[in-house]
């Protein structure tokens, strides 16, 4: 099979393989592309929770981004867990230095089991300095609440939060509805010109470990292959939905989804 595009992933490692860098590599690969990585932290976790987090020094994160991208230029970049102010600043610097384009930011803040993955000062820096430098941000509802300082209880609230994020400098926003209580899940894509609502039936399962990481790396892959951002979101959501539907029931807690459930990008569109 011919490799469709090259994607750089900047994110944390999940030893259990369901989320983080591992989910990203699996998603990019399943969608027919080539994954490169810059690891920001190492977590020891399983489906029941996070045992420990070891941050990688920011200089080492920059080394991974810069040395890799200098040699193999990525078509798009997915950014996940950035745990500190210094790491965020280094990543911004490296992106600028290497002139990296087509960047998707998943502003990871809390793991599904409740462990906090970023400190408060870093959240502020992410909000002020990073979201205006990427092409798309993909917060879930709790993350969108923290970034916008509003409560989100409905689709209308999601739309309002997305508008606030645009006002804060985001170019495109996808707010993920996985945390809303209804039985129809809605993800909303918004930019200054258009709004799109993607609706799916909520699948009744606790095995949704890594849905967010998987979605943002799938979006980055489609986007790197030349699809529009809106189309990339639509296709990424479909990929995640199929992956939840065919989940393997591993582990005693929030189990992983099925990354192998890919539908290949058939047409030559780049
Ligand atoms: N039970 C479910 N059934 C169907 N789709 C779901 C379900 N849970 C999440 N999704 C979808 O998965 C995608 C990721 O959304 P979610 O809100 O779970 O992200 P997240 O909270 O960032 O995930 P993570 O906990 O992995 O960080 C969205 O497209 C959402 O609609
Ligand atoms: Mg998430």
Tell me: the pLDDT tens digits for 102-154? 999 999 987 766 777 788 899 999 999 999 999 999 999 999 999 999 999 99
Number of domain units in the chain: 1
Q: Which two tokens stand for residue 17?
A: 């393989």
Distance 56 CA to ligand 1 centre (A): 27
Domain assignment of residue 266, yes or no: no
> Which pLDDT does position 270 carry in this prediction?
46
Closest CA to 100 of 86, 79, 128: 79
> Which pLDDT does position 115 carry in this prediction?
74
The reply to whether ligand 1 has any atom less than 6 angstroms from the CB of 225 is no
Q: Which two tokens stand for residue 98?
A: 């290497």
Domain assignment of residue 255, yes or no: no
The reply to whether ligand 1 has any atom less than 6 angstroms from the CB of 80 is no
Give the closest ligand to the alpha carbon of residue 182. 1
Summarised one tens digit per residue, pLDDT across range 199-208 is: 999 999 999 9
pLDDT tops 70 at residue 268: no
Domain assignment of residue 1, yes or no: no
Domain assignment of residue 103, yes or no: yes
CATH code of the domain containing 101? 3.40.1190.20
Domain assignment of residue 256, yes or no: no
Give one DSSP letter per residue of 174-207, joined into a string.
EEB-TTS-SSEEEEEEEESS-EEEEEEEPP--S-
Entry pTM: 0.96
151 and 145 in contact (C-beta within 8 Å)? yes
Point out the ligand 1 atom lying closest to the alpha carbon of residue 112: 25
Distance 23 CA to ligand 2 centre (A): 12
Domain assignment of residue 270, yes or no: no
Domain assignment of residue 217, yes or no: yes
Per-residue burial over 230-265, b = 16 or more CB atoms within 10 Å of its CB, e = otherwise: bebbbbbbebbbebbeebeebbebbbbbbbebbeeb
Domain assignment of residue 260, yes or no: no
Residue nearest atom 30 in ligand 1 by C-alpha distance = 178
The reply to whether ligand 1 has any atom less than 6 angstroms from the CB of 65 is no
The residue segments making up the domain with residue 185 are 6-245
């Amino acid at each position: 099979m011919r490799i469709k595009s090259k994607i750089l992933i900047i994110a944390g490692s999940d030893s259990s393989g369901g989320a983080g860098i591992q989910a990203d590599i699996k998603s990019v690969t399943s969608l027919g592309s080539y994954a490169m990585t810059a690891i920001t932290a190492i977590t020891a976790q399983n489906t029941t929770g996070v045992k420990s987090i070891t941050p990688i020094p920011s200089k080492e994160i920059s080394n991974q981004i810069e040395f890799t991208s200098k040699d193999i230029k990525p078509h798009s970049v997915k950014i996940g867990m950035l745990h500190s102010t210094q790491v965020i600043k280094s990543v911004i610097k490296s992106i600028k230095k290497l002139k990296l384009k087509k960047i998707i930011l998943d502003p990871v803040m809390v793991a599904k089991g409740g462990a906090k993955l970023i400190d408060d000062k870093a959240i502020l820096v992410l909000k002020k300095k990073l979201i205006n430098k990427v092409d798309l941000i993909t917060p879930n509802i709790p993350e969108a609440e923290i970034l916008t300082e509003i409560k989100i209880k409905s689709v209308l609230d999601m739309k309002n939060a997305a508008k606030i994020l645009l006002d804060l400098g985001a170019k495109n926003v996808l707010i993920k509805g996985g945390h809303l209580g209804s039985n129809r899940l809605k993800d909303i894509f918004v930019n200054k010109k258009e709004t799109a609502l993607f609706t799916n039936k909520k699948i009744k399962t606790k095995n949704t470990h890594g849905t967010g990481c998987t979605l943002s790396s799938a979006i980055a892959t489609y986007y790197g292959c030349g699809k529009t951002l809106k189309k990339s979101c639509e296709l990424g959501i479909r990929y995640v939905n199929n992956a939840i539907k065919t989940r393997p029931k591993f582990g005693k807690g929030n189990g992983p989804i099925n990354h192998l459930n890919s539908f290949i990008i058939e047409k030559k569109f780049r």
